[in-house]
Amino acid sequence: MPATTMPTRAELSEMMKTVAGVEIDPGELQQEPQVTFEELGVDSLGLLGVLAAIERQYGIEIHADIDDCRTLADLEAIIRQAAGPGGRRS
């Protein structure tokens, strides 16, 4: 079990490369949390894969509508909610 339940920007970048085949510099993620996944070239299936990878790695269940997850900031908010005191762990 990792120390925190929030993936770093570097980890997210790695997941997007492995799961969705999209190469994004972690620094770019750092600077532009409002950039959309669509702009980054990660389609909805790729995003589902990233969410699943996060679930597996952090042992959490993410119950969110994929339509609510348009930007990196959205994703981080969703993860925080899933991993927080009220969130379930699998």
Partner 1 sequence: MSDDSQRALITGVAAVAPNGCDTNSYWAATLSGLSGLRPISRFESDGYPVRVAGLIDGLNPAELCGDRLAVQTDRWTQLALAAGERALADAELVPAELPPYDMAVVTASSSGGNEFGQLEIEALWSRGPRAVGPFQSIAWFYAATTGQLSIRNGMKGPCGVVVCEQAGGLDALGRARRALRRDASVVVTGGTEAPIGPYALTCQIASDRLSRTADPQRAYLPFDTDACGYVPGEGGAILIAERADSALARGVDQPYGEIAGYASSFDPRPGSGRPPTLRQAAEAALADARAAPHDVDVVFADGAGLPGPDAAEAAALAGLFGPFGVPVTVPKTLCGRLYAGGPPLDVVAALLAIRDGVIPPTYGIGELAPGCDIDLVREARTGRVQTALVLARGFDGFNAAVVLRAA
CA–CA separation, 64 vs 62, rounded Å?
6
Cβ atoms within 10 Å of 53's Cβ, excluding its own: 19
Residues with Cβ within 8 Å of 65's Cβ and at least 6 positions away in sequence, in order, are none
Quick one: which of 8, 17, 36, 80 contacts partner 1 (CB under 8 A)?
17
Query: Residue 54 Cβ, how far from partner 1 at the closest point, in Å?
Result: 11
Residues 48-67 touching partner 1, rule: CB under 8 A, are 48-49, 52, 55-56
Q: Is 19 in the site for partner 1 (CB under 8 A)?
A: yes
Of 7-15, 25-33, 39-47, 70-78, the window that binds partner 1 (rule: CB under 8 A) is 39-47
Cβ atoms within 10 Å of 80's Cβ, excluding its own: 12
Q: DSSP code of 36?
A: B
Q: Which residues bind partner 1 (CB under 8 A)?
A: 17-23, 41, 45-46, 48-49, 52, 55-56
